[in-house]
Amino acid sequence: MLIFTLRRVNLFVFTIALLTVLSFSLNFLFPGDPLINMSGQISQTPEQTAQLTQQYSANSNLFVQYYSYLKQVFSGDFGVSMANGQPIFDDVVSLLPATIELSIAALFVAFFIGVPLGFVAALNHRKATDNGILAFAMFGYSIPAFWLALVAILIFSINLAWLPSSGQISLVYEIEQKTGFLIIDILLSDSPYQWQAFQDATLHMILPCLVVALAPATVFIRLARTAMLEVLETPYIRAIKAKGLSDSQILINHAIRNALVKVIRDVGLQFANLITIAMVAEVIFNWPGIGRWLIESIYQRDYTAIQAGLLVLSSFIFFVHIVIDLLYAALNPLARESSYGAR
């Protein structure tokens, strides 16, 4: 397990290095002066220009410039926004937790809805229940996220008035930001309206969470169904049946665990797709996350914010991928022998 972990850490470091090279190259690919693209300072006095030239080693070769860029990035200096002049690092720190909160909630919803339905479909193989669940999975996967979000707002927010249509919490609740994760901040707060704020934040999360979770849930249905069918056809399950164990004993004690291991293997692959859908949902539901901020930066041609946002989001997605890979290896010792991408 130690060697497997070191291999994944090595891969993580190598991938982060490649991402920083890509991010650095965007300074020269975007229109305008690369020094302005890196720093974000559009209006510069001669003294500021000289200081930034020295800070980013703009008069040196590309390798020295890249090294200076790395020092800025890893010291938490992403420059300032071309749109509002605010430090980009502060925006990233304040907005990223909202995206993580929504994505993790959606991933849990997708997993705990999709996997049981997939198992039910496998246990009713080629029956009406199996066909119905597969039809739901195909229908759910085919629905565009933006269309589903608009329909959900129309039905549940406008017509039925059951759920809020935008935002993370009502403005009447003032919650001090401690961790950036709203639910945790509410639980840590000493507000006399803590429970009401928690209920309000939960109601605000339901619609965007379900919209983001639908497509990954349908993928989990198909993965879980296939995994369970494969497990039920293995020789050791047949041997257990021959010994006289009941179907429920076989399912609970042997089949579910082994099928879950196969599903967990692909959770990381679905997370990148989930983040993409979350970015669309953040725009439609006015969710204060880094995805909406990044899309607004693209509209405003805020090049400094675009490269910082891409670097942070890509690093986060790959970090989650590595963590799930380690979890899968911990559950399945055979996976520790395979090289990355072998499966």
User: What is the band of 128 on the pLDDT scale with cuts at 50, 70, 90?
Assistant: very high
What per-residue confidence (pLDDT) applies to 117? 94
Q: Locate 223 and state its tokens.
A: 């993965």
Q: Are 335 and 265 in contact (CB under 8 A)?
A: yes
- Over range 278-303, report the average pLDDT: 90
Residue 163, sorted as left (phi over 0), alpha (psi -120 to 50) or beta, turns out to be beta
For the chain, give the number of residues: 343
What is the per-residue pLDDT across 7-40, written as a single tens digit (0 to 9) for each?
888 888 888 899 999 999 988 888 888 888 888 8
Domain boundaries, the chain: 92-301
Does the pLDDT value for residue 341 go beyond 70? no
Does the pLDDT value for residue 49 go beyond 60? yes
- Over range 143-156, report the average pLDDT: 92
Number of alpha helices (DSSP H) and beta strands (DSSP E) in the chain? 15, 0
What per-residue confidence (pLDDT) applies to 338? 59
Residue of 288, 282, 320 whose CA lies nearest to 145: 282
- pTM across the whole model: 0.87
Name the percent of the chain lying above pLDDT 70.
97
Q: Locate 312 and state its tokens.
A: 């942070």
3-state secondary structure of 245: coil
Looking at per-residue pLDDT, the higher value among 314 and 336 belongs to: 314
Chain mean pLDDT for the chain: 87
- Over range 171-188, report the average pLDDT: 85
What per-residue confidence (pLDDT) applies to 12? 84
Q: Does domain 92-301 have CATH number 1.10.3720.10?
A: yes
